[in-house]
Amino acid sequence: MRVAVIVFPGSNCDRDVAEAIAQVTGKQPIMVWHRETTFFDVDLVILPGGFAYGDYLRPGAMAARSSVMRHVLDHAKAGGLVLGICNGFQVLTEIGLLPGALLPNAGMKFICKPVKLKVTRTSTPFTGSFTKGQYLDIPVAHHDGNYFAQKDELSRLEDNEQVVFRYENNPNGSINDIAGLSNVSGNVLGMMPHPERAMVHGKTRGDGYKLFNTLMEMIR
């Protein structure tokens, strides 16, 4: 599996997710600086967590307009896999690859804690080895994870079964408990929780590992 991790000024989970990919695939991903304008041929593009451009204007707003994102758009539109984690999810909504937007948490606090996620869509390359209704333990760490979509948009994405993960106990006010969302075809996933921070669980493999491993097996 060939993987690219996009690095924006202010990304801070880029190395963590690169390490996670290296653990699962045995190969280091390509780190792609946001100003890159040449094409990169990979199976999966990861938009990592962090605070790209210091969250100026809106989280993800500046990053979504950087030159590398044109390639990410082309890659996604050609059916290539895109995973946006936390800030990466915000970038995906800002660029319009995913519907809706992420607002400040309802409690106005930064939340950093383990959460339980319910898998609600398994027809994606990210979740194909999970079963519907299964719970995963993956931590969140965000200030703006309160997912919002206007009524029509919300019922459209529910009808299309685009919600991939829901919080068991909603930490941030997210509408319909949405923690992770895919596009209709399932090749683009945005999620607020950080799978790269759930690689181990005690002495066993964590649910983040399982997610990346699922991806690798789906691509192979």
Partner 1 sequence: MKAIVHVQLKPGVLDPQGQAIAGALASLGYDEVTGARQGKVIELELSGTDHALARERVEAMCGQLLANMVIEQFSVEILD
* Site for partner 1, rule CB under 8 A: 57-58, 61, 65, 93-94, 99-101, 103-108, 146, 148-150, 153, 173
Catalytic, 112? Answer no
d(CA 48, CA 5): 7
Residue carrying structure tokens 């799978």: 195
d(CA 193, CA 112): 10
- Least distance to partner 1 from the beta carbon of 140, Å? 17
Calculate helix-pair angle for 87-95, 68-77, nearest 10 degrees: 80
The partner residues of 30 in beta bridges, in order of sequence, read: 4
- Among 34, 86, 94, 142, which one carries the catalytic annotation? 86
Q: Please identify, using beta-carbon distances, which residue of 105 and 187 lies nearer to partner 1.
A: 105
**∠ CA(136), CA(141), CA(142), 5° rounding?**
120
- Least distance to partner 1 from the beta carbon of 72, Å? 17
Catalytic, 153? Answer no
Catalytic, 194? Answer yes
- Least distance to partner 1 from the beta carbon of 99, Å? 8
- Least distance to partner 1 from the beta carbon of 119, Å? 26
Q: How is residue 55 written in tokens?
A: 């969250």
Closest among 124, 130, 135, 131 to 190, alpha carbons compared: 124
Q: Please identify, using beta-carbon distances, which residue of 60 and 208 lies nearer to partner 1.
A: 60
* Contacts of 200 by beta carbon, 8 Å cutoff, 6+ apart: 206, 209
Q: Please identify, using beta-carbon distances, which residue of 58 and 205 lies nearer to partner 1.
A: 58
Q: Please identify, using beta-carbon distances, which residue of 22 and 106 lies nearer to partner 1.
A: 106
98 by Cβ neighbours in 10 Å (0-12 / 13-18 / 19+) ranks as buried
Q: Please identify, using beta-carbon distances, which residue of 174 and 214 lies nearer to partner 1.
A: 174
State in Å, rounded, how far the first CA of the chain is from the last one: 7
- Least distance to partner 1 from the beta carbon of 157, Å? 12
Residues tagged active-site: 86, 194, 196
